[in-house]
Structures are given as C-alpha cells and as structure tokens.
Structure 1
C-alpha cells in the first residue's frame, strides 16, 4: 500500500470517526441524560467503537509508511477520542504528509 493510499484511508477514517463521535457526544448523550432515552448511546457508542478501531488501523498503517515517531502516532490516535480533534489532526497530518514533513515535529 502506498503512502497516498494510506493517507486517503486515514482521512476517511478520521472524518467518519469524528462525525460518529460528534453524534455520540452532542446528540445521543443529551438524549440519554436529558430525555431518558439510552438506546441512541448504545447504538452510536458501539458504532463509534468499531469506527475508532478502523481509525487505529488506518493511523498505524500511515504511521508505519511515513516512519512516524511512536509518540506522534499515539497523539494522532488520541485525536479520535476528543470531539473535533480528529478533524484538526486530519488537516495537519494531510498537509505534513503531502509536504513530506514530520507529523508533529518541526522537520
């Protein structure tokens, strides 16, 4: 798999994971805690868990192809657990991979 393919897969996974997390945090959880409706959290939470696993795999493949430092990969992986962070990380990773630079370092 080329870096371009790994980057494309990572970008898709980052967006899908980010959208899933936003739905979970800003729609499903309020429905549970304000309206007593726990089913959306169960469904969306499970979906986000599966999507996050795909995000992990895509991130690790890209990290291996681009020879990221392990700490850089961990920080990018954590972005999938913070609402909106996966979108920010995706933009930074895409820009730096296309420029051939280190993901988090100054290189």
Structure 2
C-alpha cells in the first residue's frame, strides 16, 4: 500500500512558497464552499418542507463560491501535479455536503507531506 505522498509520482511544478499560498487559498475556499453548501441544504429544506422562500439568494451565491473553489483547486492541482482522477475527485467534493471539509483535510496533509520532502 502506498502512502499519500507516494501517490504523486511527479515533482511539483512550483516553488514551495507558491504551493503554500495556493494551498491556503484552496483551504479557505474548501471551507467557504462547504459552509455555503450546508446553508444551501438548509435553504432547500426550508423551501420544500416549510414553504419558506426568503433565502433564494443562497443557490446563486453557492454557485459562484463553487466556481472560485474550482479555480483554487485546479491552481493547487497544477502546482503539485495531481493526477487527473485526484483532481476531479477534489473538484466534486465541493458538491457533496461535508465532503469538502474531509477532502480539505486529506489534501492538506498530502500537500504538506510533499512540501516537507
């Protein structure tokens, strides 16, 4: 079984400082996206279970926040040279409640291991 740092076969394309800043941007957006996604779930429950339409802005904001999350995740993926499959899974994590938090933790650990090597 390979460890997370062994799963990336290629060397990162950017210097450690740029990777660290890309990682920070990704981490912030993973949390912001996850929180807006949870708010979207609450909004959908309120709308369809209780008929409350006061939070109609939430889907739009989450959509735009998710677009920024995509950009930050792709930026990090390019800098650390993630394989396509890992990148796609990380991108999809922003669409499933709580998964963005989990993936942020896992990807942060992996990138920090690469930086430490």
| TM-score in terms of structure 2 length | 0.81
Aligned equivalent of 1:37: 52
1:99 maps onto 2:113 in alignment: yes
Runs of 4+ that moved beyond 4 A: none
1:13 maps onto 2:43 in alignment: no
Unpaired runs of at least 5, structure 1: 102-107
**Partner Cα distance (1:30, 1:83) in 2:** 14
Number of aligned residue pairs: 99
Q: Which residue, out of 23, 31, 42, partners 2:39? A: 23
**Partner Cα distance (1:34, 1:82) in 2:** 20
Q: Which residue, out of 19, 25, 50, partners 1:3? A: 19
By relative contact order (CA 8 Å, sep 6+), the higher-ranking structure is 2
Which of the pair has more CA radius of gyration? 2
**Partner Cα distance (1:35, 1:9) in 2:** 36
**Partner Cα distance (1:72, 1:39) in 2:** 37
